[in-house]
Amino acid sequence: MPELPEVEHVVRALAPIVTGRRILGAELNLKRIAPGISRQKFNRQLQNARITAVGRRGKYILFHLESGHVLTTHLRMTGKFVSLTTDDALPPYAHVIFYLDDERRLVFCDMRQFGRMQIFKDRPKELEKLAPEPLSEDFTAEYFLNTLARSGRPLKNLLLDQTRVLGLGNIYAVEALFLAGVSPMKAANTLSKPRARKLYQAIRDVLQEAIDAGSTLKIDLADGNGSYFGTLERFWRVYEREGEPCVKCGKRIRRVVQSNRSTYFCPGCQR
């Protein structure tokens, strides 16, 4: 699943293509992508709507419209946007098509059909519940320490809770824990304040590092196959490196399963 750095780069790729463009029409070809609205109403609310900005809240992509409405998109596992001319063949799994006023089509395709869209005027509850943006001034060390102190969950599980710590998925959660030298299995409320502060900084560092490095994406919105998710460079320290030597101490990276998800860690550096 794309995490905050990946979504950030999708937003940066979309912005110059759609900002200022008017949606002449929209086709919702798979109802489950936008379950809270009929196909007819989806098109009616977006027809002739001008896109004034593209932003992000956590892992949600936000298309701000001149009408004051916002179209949210969550890519989930395999959701992708592609930008096509009117002559280009549609990519596989083209579930939503936006016809723009520059004679191009913005297409949302999703092989596994987990992606979701919603149109709203007032901010929906799922966005209101999200934690502060982890690279913003609102995500303070004090907020993070208080969040840990109130939870007895394993740290890895807590870091994946978007209402507590925003933007982390499996990759950057394990990377941050490794960078901080903290066991992913440790109960959050037992972590010392010095270690908690190290983890707080590690979260910010790994996310910024991934954004600066181009994240794990090679994005080409004009790729007709919609295949813009591709690893640019394997810069992970522990993720998917089971059995390989730790970059710090040389011990073998281990993998355990937490809440049905793989967790990678170094038994030497993260006791």
Listing DSSP states for 29-46 in one string gives: --GGGSTTS-HHHHHHHH
CATH of the domain at 231: 1.10.8.50
Where a domain ends, among 103, 128, 153?
128
pLDDT at 235: 74
Do residues 230 and 219 make contact, with C-beta atoms less than 8 angstroms apart?
no
User: In this structure, is residue 178 part of a structural domain?
Assistant: yes
| Alpha carbon separation from 186 to 155, 172, 212 (Å, rounded) | 6, 17, 30
Lowest mean pLDDT, pick from 160-169, 220-229, 250-259, 262-271: 220-229
Where a domain ends, among 128, 159, 179?
128
Do residues 96 and 29 make contact, with C-beta atoms less than 8 angstroms apart?
yes
Where a domain ends, among 78, 94, 128?
128
Residue bearing the bigger pLDDT, 23 or 224: 23
Do 116 and 167 lie in one domain? The reply is no
Q: Annotated catalytic sites, by residue?
A: 2-3, 59, 261
Do 117 and 216 lie in one domain? The reply is no
Which of the four pLDDT bands, split at 50, 70 and 90, describes residue 218?
low
pLDDT tens column, 234-268: 579 999 999 999 999 999 999 999 999 999 999 99
Q: How many CB atoms lie within 10 A of CB 113?
A: 15
H helices within 102-184, ranges in order?
Answer: 125-128, 141-149, 155-159, 170-180
pLDDT at 124: 76
pLDDT surpassing 80 at residue 143: yes
Average pLDDT, the chain: 93
- Integer Cα distance of 124 and 129 in angstroms: 9
- Integer Cα distance of 71 and 54 in angstroms: 10
- Integer Cα distance of 196 and 180 in angstroms: 8
pLDDT surpassing 60 at residue 227: no
pLDDT surpassing 60 at residue 232: no
Listing DSSP states for 161-182 in one string gives: -TTTS-S--HHHHHHHHHHHT-
Question: Average of pLDDT values for 172-187?
Answer: 98
User: In this structure, is residue 136 part of a structural domain?
Assistant: no
CA trace torsion 86, 16, 20, 138 (10° rounding): 140
pLDDT surpassing 90 at residue 231: no
Total structural domains within the chain:
2
Which of the four pLDDT bands, split at 50, 70 and 90, describes residue 2?
confident
